[in-house]
């Protein structure tokens, strides 16, 4: 089971703080929230890649420039990372319109050059692709599979929704299975996968939500606050990080009332009082 990249949530500090809980749930790998591929990228300055983790970490990059991606991959490989991933699934319109994330599905030639670069730099079976079923239709990825199959990918992770759906509506299992049947590499399922899921799965939101259902959830938040204070400068970014986490719990009956206080908290101490309410 692979921990899915959730922007602002499943960051290095989260993975380190909840390392025991991740291991207990059965995770053996984590894909980082996406890192923008630029020619100036320096993994030694990246908070996400400072090491000290007990779980295998795969850096994920987002972009559309193969030259910039090559430089990034060469640097993370030199820093000791043996695997890397390409984000071709981010559904946010602002990202998509720039041809990045799920926008790569609209430019198959660019996607092919990015995959070629990734496989060449990282080596056969060391570069993976995370994507969606399509942008508007659930058959778009399937149409691209002959081209994607040309690359010796480590795996293909598919969020079983279109980019237009964002995170709404149901996953299209039939479309996912069609991609799985056409793929020549291992296919990893993503999208509303429960912690009890079998097979190759990438899980994110289910694990984060499960933390909020634990009897010691308020203590977990306290631990995360302390770890974040060591990493971040000042209470404001810590407060923002905690709200990102607790927002995943707001629909739970035990958190609805607490969330109303958490979301308006102006300090970390206010947030902790709301969490412990």
Q: Is the pLDDT of residue 277 over 90?
A: no
pLDDT recorded at residue 198: 86
Average pLDDT rounded to a whole number, residues 203-224: 96
Confidence tier at 44 by pLDDT (50, 70, 90): confident
Average pLDDT rounded to a whole number, residues 101-122: 98
Alpha-carbon span 250 to 2, nearest angstrom: 24
Round the average pLDDT of the chain to a whole number and report it.
Answer: 96
Q: Which of 211, 236, 257 is the last residue of a domain?
A: 211
Q: Which of 211, 242, 260 is the last residue of a domain?
A: 211
Quote the number of domains for the chain.
2
Could you tell me the CATH number of the domain that includes residue 120?
Answer: 3.20.20.70
Do 118 and 35 have their domain in common? yes
Do 246 and 180 have their domain in common? no
Average pLDDT rounded to a whole number, residues 61-81: 96
DSSP state of 35: E
pLDDT recorded at residue 164: 97
Q: Which domain holds residue 262?
A: 215-275
Residues near 98 by Cβ (< 8 Å), separated by ≥ 6?
64
Q: Is the pLDDT of residue 41 over 80?
A: yes
Residues near 163 by Cβ (< 8 Å), separated by ≥ 6?
89, 91, 96, 101, 102, 105, 132, 134, 135, 136
- Mean pLDDT lowest for which of 17-21, 48-52, 61-65, 67-71? 48-52
Do 95 and 140 have their domain in common? yes
Do 47 and 175 have their domain in common? yes
Both tokens assigned to 18: 């909840």
Alpha-carbon span 131 to 97, nearest angstrom: 16
Do 192 and 224 have their domain in common? no
């Amino acid at each position: 089971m692979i921990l899915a990249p959730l922007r602002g949530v499943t960051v290095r500090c989260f993975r380190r703080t909840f390392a025991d809980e991740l291991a207990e749930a059965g995770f053996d790998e984590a894909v980082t929230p996406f890192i923008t591929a630029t020619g100036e990228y320096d993994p030694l300055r990246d908070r996400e890649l400072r090491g000290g983790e007990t779980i295998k970490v795969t850096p994920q990059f987002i972009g559309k420039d193969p030259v910039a991606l090559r430089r990034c991959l060469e640097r993370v490989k030199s820093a000791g990372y043996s695997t890397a991933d390409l984000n071709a699934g981010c559904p946010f319109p602002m990202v998509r319109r720039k041809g990045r994330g799920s926008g790569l599905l609209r430019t198959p030639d660019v996607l092919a050059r990015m995959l070629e670069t990734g496989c060449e730099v990282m080596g056969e079976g060391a570069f993976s692709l995370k994507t969606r079923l399509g942008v508007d239709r659930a058959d778009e990825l399937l149409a691209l599979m002959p081209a994607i199959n040309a690359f010796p990918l480590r795996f293909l992770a598919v969020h079983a929704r279109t980019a237009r759906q964002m995170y709404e509506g149901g996953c299209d299992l039939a479309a996912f299975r069609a991609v799985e049947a056409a793929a020549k590499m291992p296919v990893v399922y993503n999208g509303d996968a429960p912690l009890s899921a079998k097979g190759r799965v990438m899980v994110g939101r289910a694990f984060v939500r499960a933390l909020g259902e634990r009897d010691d959830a308020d203590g977990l938040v306290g631990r995360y606050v302390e770890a974040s204070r060591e990493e971040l400068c000042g209470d404001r970014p810590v407060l923002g990080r905690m709200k990102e986490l607790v927002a995943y719990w707001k629909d739970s009956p035990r958190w609805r009332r607490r969330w109303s206080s958490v979301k308006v908290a102006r300090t970390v101490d206010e947030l902790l009082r709301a969490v412990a309410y």
